Amino acid sequence: MKNTSRRSFLRNGFLLGAGTLLGAPALRGAYAADAATLTLYNGQHAKTTQKLVEAFTQATGIRVEIRKGSSTQLANQIIEEGDRSPADVFYAEESPPVAALADKGLLAPLSKDTLGQVIPGYTAGDGTWIGVTARCRATVYNRDMVQESELPASVLDMATAAWKDRVGFVPTSGAFQEQLIAIKLLKGRDAALNWLKGLTQYGRIYNGNMAAMRAVERGEIATALVNNYYWYIMANEVGADKIRSGLHYAGPRDPGGLITVSAAGILKTARNRDAARKLLAFMVSQAGQEAIAGTVAEYPLRPGVKSPFDLKPFDTLNPPPVSPADLGDAADALALRREAGLA
């Protein structure tokens, strides 16, 4: 196995970025007593959240203070803070960190009206969090190094000697870990562990999804397992007519085509509960979904909202029968990584 990074795979420290106030012309102190100022803990992509918050503030007049960090770091921070947490809303790049807070009883139930704005199957079973946008797992491949017809129908077949030094993966990625849990749910824990051990033995580790995507594009490695939107970022950088890589979707109902979501919930300790409810409702409204859709090649989860990117139609993805709620907090992914020698 070749490892392209010397960084530790575990990043469980409580790293909390400096607060950033968006949609307001003055500093935080000027609005400290304003009950309509929300505190948003944000693990989602910064540009996406900025556009969302700007649209929300313009529509409602409610100001939002954003505190940045990775989704896992911020979930840990909220747990550590407990009743003292200043967070009103938590917006995560993946659903498991939000589900972890729900499991600890830290999230307030959302209204049925808000939950009903998105496609069924993309909310928490207990109604404490909601999916905001969706993306799917896929394989990016260098067209000069491999033909799409050579790619196996199942991602499970890429962790073999036949693909030695030809598959890049990012074991620290939240989406990769969700995919690992999906394999566990579909095929059993032993199958998930064997797949991970196979990738560890025959694949090549990268320290980030864009690093893996760029490695494929420049011909450093033939394929990589990433979310679909990374290919669109690459196409935007190099030009759709010049890109050397392609985007391959796994066979029907295969874990290689898992759909995952960004997700959000309201803290039970939210000091501005009414404004928080308005933000969650806005996230899945027509205006909110359109604001998000223009920043990233993800699927809006509100029916009728179209992405400006040329995405494979959502209703043709044919993902495995594993919902974001089924994934839960994905806690066993860390244990599996340890057993495979990756943590």
pTM of the model: 0.88
Return the pLDDT at 271: 95
Residue 157 · residue 144 · CB < 8 Å: no
Give 51-84 as a DSSP string: HHHHHHHHHH--EEEEEE--HHHHHHHHHHHGGG
Model confidence pLDDT, tens digit, residues 269-281: 999 999 999 999 9
Model confidence pLDDT, tens digit, residues 201-228: 999 999 999 999 999 999 999 999 999 9
Return the pLDDT at 26: 31
Give 217-275 as a DSSP string: HTTSSSEEEEETHHHHHHHHHH-TTT--EEEEPPSTT-GGG-EEEEEEEEETT-S-HHH
Give mean pLDDT, residues 181-196: 98
d(CA 30, CA 324): 39
Give mean pLDDT, residues 295-300: 97
pLDDT at residue 27 greater than cutoff 70 = no
pLDDT confidence bin for 165, thresholds 50/70/90: very high
Return the pLDDT at 50: 98
d(CA 15, CA 166): 34
